[in-house]
Amino acid sequence: METQKTHRRSRVGRVITDNTMQTIKVRLEGIVQHPRYKKYIKRFTTFVVHDPNEECHVGDKVRIEECRPVSKTKHWIVREVLERGNAQAVEMIKEKNDDSSGINS
């Protein structure tokens, strides 16, 4: 019996958290046009991704690929790290995460 290569979806995004073991969160950014006002709006999608080698850190740009479910929420796996995040990008991402948490100081 021949094995067929399946075409899996792949995406490119930035790592926003790497707190848990072998798991990262990747944010994808897209621009959509508002149907009534025709203004362009940024939309974000966050994926929980399996990182078996724990090589990704906050701010890294990674390519992820769809895979079989690893857990209840993890359906994606890291295929490659495209570029390493610099310190400024890491600080910006941390500030955005702090601002979006809804906690006022």
Residue 65: beta bridge partners?
Answer: 10, 77
Cα–Cα distance measured from residue 21 to residue 12, given in angstroms and rounded to the nearest whole number: 21
pLDDT confidence band for 100 (50 / 70 / 90): low
Task: State which residues form the domain around 66.
Answer: 10-100
Query: At 82, is the secondary structure helix, strand, or coil?
Result: strand
d(CA 47, CA 91): 21
pLDDT of residue 7: 80
pLDDT tens digits, 43-99: 999 999 999 999 999 999 999 999 999 999 999 999 999 999 876 666 776 677 677
- Judge whether 28 lies within some domain: yes
Q: Rounded distance, CA 14 to CA 26, Å?
A: 5
Residue 66 lies in a domain: yes
The domain spanning residue 17 has which CATH number? Answer: 2.40.50.140
**Structural element, H or E, at residue 92:** helix 87-100
Q: pLDDT at position 53, please?
A: 92
Domain count, the chain: 1
